[in-house]
Structure 1
Amino acid sequence: MHIAIIGAGINGFMTALELIEQGCSVTILDQQQAGKAASWAGGGILSPMYPWRYPQAVNDLAKYAKPLYQNWNDKLKPITGIDFEIHETGMLIFDEEDFEVGYHYAEQHQEPLQEALYVEQEQIEQINPQVSTSFKHALYFPQIANVRNPRLLQSISCYLKQHPQVTWLEHAPVRQIKISDDQIAAVQTQQGDWIEADQFVFTTGAWSAQWSDQLKLDIPVRPVQGQMVLFKTPEHWLPTMCMNRVMYLIPRQDGHIVCGSSMREVGFDTTPATEIRQKILDACFEMVPELADFPIVQEWAGLRPGSPKGIPYIGQLPQLKNGWANFGHFRNGLCMAPASALLLRQLMFGQPTLIDPQAYTAKQLQHLTALTH
């Protein structure tokens, strides 16, 4: 079976991995260089921030992130020579209003990786001596990890590009979808090339609404900008991730520290804003004051695929026999991606699913003709 995957971010990558494991041949198309949009720009925390604030459907996928990425890293690293750098730092959360619900979350939802410990200042100092002494207590989640998403994307890209079942078309925006008898016959790139396939999967993230008219669907996915700042410190200088008021610090193994993040609706603009940068820095220096002594080495912004409740659309598109969705992951695309792709593969092949797919069904995308009556 030949499958065209439109969109080469982390969800397109993971979908491709799952499908070639089933013996499929895959053509991957992207409007720019693969893996360079939101998937590259995110922080890489392998858990939703404050999972108790999200619908259960988000957490049902996200809880598989760490073990599935570990499995894929074990498989790909010997071939690509690139480690995902899954960094088991744990996380300190300082939001007092979340202490009670966060402390009980793991037990209530049978998610042992979300086990939390209530710690006071003396323990905080032992866990992470860089934290400001103004924080008298915290919740500590020792098993939460982060993945270095640029390296994750590099490794998967390297693996897929050398794979005999994979064809790549980068810088090839899809402009037209040819539909005949309730099936997608082909898609046409901006360069005029027609790509035929047996099945078509849309993994186009923040750009997914562009298909609304051609697919005759109401696709409520919009770009939501998130801004980041990157510091460079000595290796192991910051032992854990830290989070307070939705701002976070994420240490990488080599001493880089990713700081973020914001939410702004400014269309497809990825220009960092000075005032947002200052808000991020203020929040991060409040948590870890001595971070101000180290250089900022990079700043950027990415576009999250905002969906109504942050729950992605995964499954067969309405009224199309061979069209499939895997988009709308909002703030948790990286940590939902491995399970999203696995679920999509199971649905495509009629296999038993790892979770009930009903919450993600793309059938809930309304048909545009129905909306006019």
Structure 2
Amino acid sequence: MKVLIVGGGIIGLLSALELSQAGCNVTILDKQDFGQAASWAGGGILSPMYPWRYPDAVNQLARFGKSMYQQWQPLLQQATGLDIEINPSGMLILDEADFNTGLGWAAHDHDLQQSAQLLDDSALNSINPRLNPRITQGLWFPQLANIRNPRLLKTLITFLKQQPNVRMQPFTTVQRFEVKNNSIRAVVDEKGTHWQADQYVIATGAWSGLLSEQFEWHIPVKPIQGQMILFKAPAQWLPSMVMHQGIYLIPRLDGHIVCGSSTDDLGFNTDVNSEIGLKLQQTAYQLIPGLQDMPIAHAWAGLRPGVPDGVPYIGKAPPGQSQQLNNLWLNCGHFRNGLVMAPASARLLKQQILGETLMVDEAAYLPANRLS
């Protein structure tokens, strides 16, 4: 089977990995270079932020994130020599209003990856001595990890380029789908080149709505900007992730610390705003005073694929009034949780396309149930 994937972010790349490992011949097209949009820009927390605030459908996919990356890691590292850097740092959530809800959710969920403890100041200091001493309580999730998404993307791209049944074509903008007799016959790029396959997948993140404009249904995905800053500290300086009021600090193994993130509806604008950056800095300094002595290495903004309920669209494209496209699939709309939902989303899509037994109930993700 030949599969063409439009979009080379984490969703497209992992979908290509799943399908190519299953024996499909896969082509990936991206309008820029691979792994350069939201997948690169995100923080890489292997859990939804405040998972109790999300629909069950989000957590159902997210719970597989850490374990599936751990399963892929040996294969990827052996083939490429690259480490995707899973850091099992744990996370401290400092929002007092969420303590009871978070404890109740963790107890009810029975997911070992989301076990939680409410700690006092002495225990907090033991876990993270960099924390502001004025903070006297925190909700501790010891099993939570983060993945270094730029390294993950580099590793996936390197691995896929090694595969004889994968073709990767960057800087190729899909202009339209060529449709005949209820099937996609080709995608046509900006040069007029026709790219043909048996099955086609839209995995273009925040740009997915634009690609659906020629059909009788619309994908309600819009870009939501998130701004980040990167501190450089000594290796192992910050021992755990920290989050408060939606702003997080994520330690990398080499000492870099990612601080994010804002949430702004600014269209496709990725300009860095100095006022937002200053707010992120001030919050970081309040949580971890020692960061005031650490240089800021970089600042950037990415575009999340925002959807109304945060639940991605995974499955065959919905029927229109005049046509049913029997070989077009969606894997898009993951909003703030693309990296953690990506492994399960990609596997579910592979199972749907190949007619395999499904790992989860697909009903909550099916475009036919949600788009018109």
Q: Give TM class, smaller chain.
A: over 0.9
Q: Is the 1:217–1:365 contact (alpha carbons within 8 Å) kept by the matching residues of 2?
A: no
Aligned twin of 2:108:
108
Shift of 1:191: 2.0
Corresponding residue SS for 1:123: helix
Q: Is the 2:6–2:30 contact (alpha carbons within 8 Å) kept by the matching residues of 1?
A: yes
Aligned twin of 2:39:
39
Shift of 1:345: 0.8
CA deviation string 1:121-150 (max 9, x = no partner): 011111000000111010110000000000
Please show how residues 350-369 of structure 1 align to structure 2 within 5 Å.
350-367=355-372
Aligned twin of 2:173:
173
Shift of 1:364: 3.1
Q: Whole-Å Cα distance in 1 between the matches of residues 294 and 183 of structure 2? A: 55
Shift of 1:194: 0.6
Q: Whole-Å Cα distance in 2 between the matches of residues 194 and 364 of structure 1? A: 31
1:354 partner amino acid: M
Q: Identity across aligned pairs (percent)?
A: 50
Please show how residues 113-124 of structure 1 align to structure 2 within 5 Å.
113-124=113-124
Q: Whole-Å Cα distance in 1 between the matches of residues 327 and 110 of structure 2? A: 36
Aligned twin of 1:336:
341
Aligned twin of 1:290:
290
Shift of 1:212: 2.6
1:123 partner amino acid: A
Q: Is the 1:235–1:255 contact (alpha carbons within 8 Å) kept by the matching residues of 2?
A: yes
Shift of 1:216: 2.2
Q: Whole-Å Cα distance in 1 between the matches of residues 27 and 212 of structure 2? A: 22
Q: Is the 2:26–2:166 contact (alpha carbons within 8 Å) kept by the matching residues of 1?
A: yes
2:121 partner amino acid: Q
Is residue 8 of structure 2 the alignment partner of residue 3 of structure 1?
A: no
Aligned twin of 1:65:
65
Q: Whole-Å Cα distance in 1 between the matches of residues 150 and 341 of structure 2? A: 17
Is residue 354 of structure 2 the alignment partner of residue 349 of structure 1?
A: yes
Q: Is the 2:184–2:200 contact (alpha carbons within 8 Å) kept by the matching residues of 1?
A: yes
Q: Whole-Å Cα distance in 1 between the matches of residues 306 and 70 of structure 2? A: 27
CA deviation string 1:6-37 (max 9, x = no partner): 00000001100110111000000000000000
Aligned twin of 2:265:
265
Q: Is the 2:307–2:334 contact (alpha carbons within 8 Å) kept by the matching residues of 1?
A: yes
Corresponding residue SS for 2:87: coil
Q: Is the 1:232–1:296 contact (alpha carbons within 8 Å) kept by the matching residues of 2?
A: yes
CA RMSD of aligned residues (A): 0.8
Q: Whole-Å Cα distance in 2 between the matches of residues 339 and 31 of structure 1? A: 25
2:248 partner amino acid: Y
Q: Whole-Å Cα distance in 2 between the matches of residues 176 and 118 of structure 1? A: 53
Q: Whole-Å Cα distance in 1 between the matches of residues 196 and 302 of structure 2? A: 31
Q: Is the 2:176–2:211 contact (alpha carbons within 8 Å) kept by the matching residues of 1?
A: no
Please say which of residues 340-349 and 105-114 is displaced more in the overlay. 105-114
Corresponding residue SS for 1:269: coil
Q: TM-score, normalised by structure 1?
A: 0.97
Q: Whole-Å Cα distance in 1 between the matches of residues 121 and 370 of structure 2? A: 49
Q: Is the 1:179–1:186 contact (alpha carbons within 8 Å) kept by the matching residues of 2?
A: yes
2:360 partner amino acid: I
Corresponding residue SS for 2:147: coil
Aligned twin of 1:143:
143
Q: Whole-Å Cα distance in 2 between the matches of residues 56 and 82 of structure 1? A: 34
Q: Is the 2:363–2:369 contact (alpha carbons within 8 Å) kept by the matching residues of 1?
A: no
Q: TM-score, normalised by structure 2?
A: 0.97
Corresponding residue to 1:327 among 324, 332, 352: 332
CA deviation string 1:90-110 (max 9, x = no partner): 001100011011112222122
Shift of 1:365: 4.6
Q: Whole-Å Cα distance in 2 between the matches of residues 364 and 285 of structure 1? A: 45
- Number of residue pairs matched by the alignment: 367
1:24 partner amino acid: C
Aligned twin of 2:20:
20
Q: Whole-Å Cα distance in 2 between the matches of residues 98 and 338 of structure 1? A: 28
Q: Whole-Å Cα distance in 1 between the matches of residues 73 and 216 of structure 2? A: 39
Aligned twin of 1:371:
none
Q: Whole-Å Cα distance in 2 between the matches of residues 160 and 197 of structure 1? A: 18
1:171 partner amino acid: F
Corresponding residue SS for 2:179: strand
